[in-house]
Structure 1
């Protein structure tokens, strides 16, 4: 581009037109340094000449008519004499030393001389030298109007004046090192934590579909709400349960997964006292059986699946027959409804104070996340389900990836962040998978790479491999405790089933070879859809 300063433009033309092609001319080099007291100081050099044969030359340019009165420099501006605020020779010399310091760092010579010559000069393109120079200025360091006409010879003369013992021509590698010092290449890499923070802000906004569901539930006491993974079912269910409790109805929020129950209890910021109870189904059965004196844990073999599906529900109904209304509920809001067995729904009728006059009965569910019930069903009184079709948890790319696992078309809200493409890598063994997971976790946590907190990351692994789960990923602590994870004491490592209903900003999932195709797709859909912003899948080839 055109150089605005006329004096610098004149010098640039002379240098480019008359110096050999091997000489590289850099214009307008700027830098910042610190003074001895730590104050930031600006530096600027008009031209830097890089000659592989001769070395480095730094040129300061002063255009117009100037004179030196023996003490200070003065510029004649249309008959008015104005003092220069800097001595141009002192300025050029200081600039040379500052820049040479930068170059030394590339050569690993912080306190040593460089192996080539470097020097400085001052150009006065509009003047000629007249009179006697002071001792502090050498004639050969001046490029006046006459010298610029023979600038090649003048520059060679300056290099000879500064010729240093042991000087040798710069190798190609040395030239690259000088270029790297003068104009280092750098990138402004978006830090992962900030990218996630920005995406999270956009995902938090209530969708039109979510607002519509809240409007419907405001005028309807019974409803089933079917939503895709990430549609906000749990958050809406909790918000509705809190609203009902605030209105004076004793409310039960019920889910399947115990870690989800714990998370929900921590998520409730206000104290509802006894008016809002958050439990998972078996936690509810245990609590009410204890209050009623029903020996739940003596009624069957806990190692038998039937204990959890049939015996627990029978015990819950027995307990409710013994308990008074103060232990029961006016309203029930259920989440993870697809994982509730038919007998459970029947048993839950007994937890209402008046089963014929329920204050509210809502169930949120996703049939594609059915992990435990072969043929899920809901109470008929809830009617046809309302839909939450928009994914507002995951980035667009994660939502599309997860929907494809179960043959769905996904809908993401307008303005949802696109995010990064999920990564899928394949390794040979489970041990290889944990090593790869460790590498990913370390990259996510390192301050200069991901910068994420431990509580933002979860590694989901097959439950049968729990004995092989690492205690740490390199220097990054790992934990199986959801409480410790929430307190940021370590990156969580958990099974897919234990993590069901929860979410994390970054998920690393370890998956074994597929055995039952349909069931495995559901499992993977559930596990992968837990990732809000970053998803890394590690597939193991050998069982």
Structure 2
């Protein structure tokens, strides 16, 4: 994969440096980062309460995973919580690879869950089937955590003892509702001595409008470690983020230069998506790039922006039958879960190089991709037509664009 990326992409999208040198620098950089993160975890081994604050790409999730693996080695039962299902799956996959252990064998020692999964696992222990259905509907349809949190808090004594932990790690903590923090403290075996680590970025608070570490009994000044360096993006992407979105205030960059951010403008959503499909197929797949290296991100679900999209139990599909794109049908697929892509390709009889993955920015939060094509409504249009939403929209763009490791395309469309 690396060699393909070096040989094919370098000649296709305007190389500003030797790509072999890029990967060499990247690997050296990651090795240095690895040592620094190990030292950081070791130096904080005696600290039971800690807040890690850092912008997108500053290494929060990697430090969180390293801490989880260290606690696993120390035989401390740990709960690792996040917000997105995709991030949950990615963390499980990474820790499985690093520990050489199947996740099923880690369960009970290291539980990696979304907050939604934790709540739905607990509800059968404390309520009736009917009430459980009502609470889950409120949780997943209206994103209202209050009924679930209230029910669990009032009936926590009914929850089995195996839900007590020596340590809790919360990644993407800015996404959690304030009511959650009081509940989480009850999962610790000993609230005074057990470990509670929190990782967050206020610039990515796209689910919850207010976030403060004090809500879970921590002193932001005394307990905070600030991660100041952008470790994910090239200098060009990091500079674009800072200039276009006003977010991503890093003190330092990885120092690795790559490709300029490419911006295209389209008169409609279908035009933007069609060109994204053609661009991916012709520019990348026909040059040997792996589909797993590219992700299309959008602010809304595919079925909400593409009238011709159709939905199945496995996800949403937008089919292109256009010779300009490919001699065979080409699909943009928004899977319910990225891990299900191989199953989807088999059941739908789609060739491995005849699709591109699409995810909403919010569902892809916490993840990264070598190449990101961000499809979004024109920033200028949003600012002119809906100025009251512009700041929040910029935050969405920041979160989406910061997923790109090597190359970022920004496909803007005009709506109506």
TM-score by length of 1: 0.60
Deviation at 1:510, TM superposition (A): 0.5
- Decide which structure has the larger Cα Rg and report it: 1
Matched, 1:480 2:334: yes
Q: 1:483 to 1:464 in 2, by over 3 A?
A: closer
Q: Deviations over 1:227-273 (max 9, x none)?
A: 11101111110111121122111100000111111121122223324
RMSD (Å), alpha carbons: 2.7
Matched, 1:369 2:204: yes
Structure 2 counterpart SS, 1:302:
helix
Once the two structures are superposed, the pairs formed by residues 296-375 of structure 1 within 5 Å of their partners are 296-299=132-135, 301-302=137-138, 308-318=144-154, 320-358=156-194, 360-375=195-210
Q: Partner of 1:283 in structure 2?
A: 117
Residues of 2 paired with 1:435 and 1:198: CA distance?
35
Q: Deviations over 1:125-164 (max 9, x none)?
A: xxxxxxxxxxxxxxxxxxxxxxxxxxxxxxxxxxxxxxxx
More helix by share: 2
Matched, 1:217 2:51: no
Structure 2 counterpart SS, 1:417:
coil
Q: Partner of 2:349 in structure 1?
A: none
Q: 1:380 to 1:303 in 2, by over 3 A?
A: closer
Once the two structures are superposed, the pairs formed by residues 46-85 of structure 1 within 5 Å of their partners are none
Once the two structures are superposed, the pairs formed by residues 253-272 of structure 1 within 5 Å of their partners are 253-269=80-96, 270=99, 271=101, 272=106
Q: 1:329 to 1:304 in 2, by over 3 A?
A: closer
TM-score by length of 2: 0.77
Is there any run of 5+ residues in structure 1 with no aligned partner, and where? 1-188
Matched, 1:505 2:370: yes
The answer on whether the counterparts of 1:254 and 1:333 sit within 8 Å (CA) in structure 2 is yes
Residues of 1 paired with 2:298 and 2:140: CA distance?
24
Q: Partner of 2:14 in structure 1?
A: none
Matched, 1:446 2:285: yes
Q: 1:303 to 1:191 in 2, by over 3 A?
A: same
Structure 2 counterpart SS, 1:494:
strand
Q: Partner of 2:16 in structure 1?
A: none
The answer on whether the counterparts of 2:247 and 2:395 sit within 8 Å (CA) in structure 1 is no
Q: Partner of 1:493 in structure 2?
A: 358
Residues of 2 paired with 1:471 and 1:312: CA distance?
39
From 228, 231, 250, give the equivalent of 1:410: 250
Structure 2 counterpart SS, 1:245:
helix
Q: Partner of 1:434 in structure 2?
A: 273
Once the two structures are superposed, the pairs formed by residues 167-206 of structure 1 within 5 Å of their partners are 190-192=7-9, 197-198=23-24, 200-206=26-32
Is there any run of 5+ residues in structure 2 with no aligned partner, and where? 1-5, 11-18, 310-317, 346-351
Residues of 2 paired with 1:201 and 1:355: CA distance?
40
Q: Partner of 1:456 in structure 2?
A: 293
From 413, 421, 438, give the equivalent of 2:260: 421
From 228, 231, 246, give the equivalent of 2:55: 228
Q: 1:505 to 1:217 in 2, by over 3 A?
A: same
Residues of 1 paired with 2:259 and 2:29: CA distance?
15
Once the two structures are superposed, the pairs formed by residues 133-152 of structure 1 within 5 Å of their partners are none
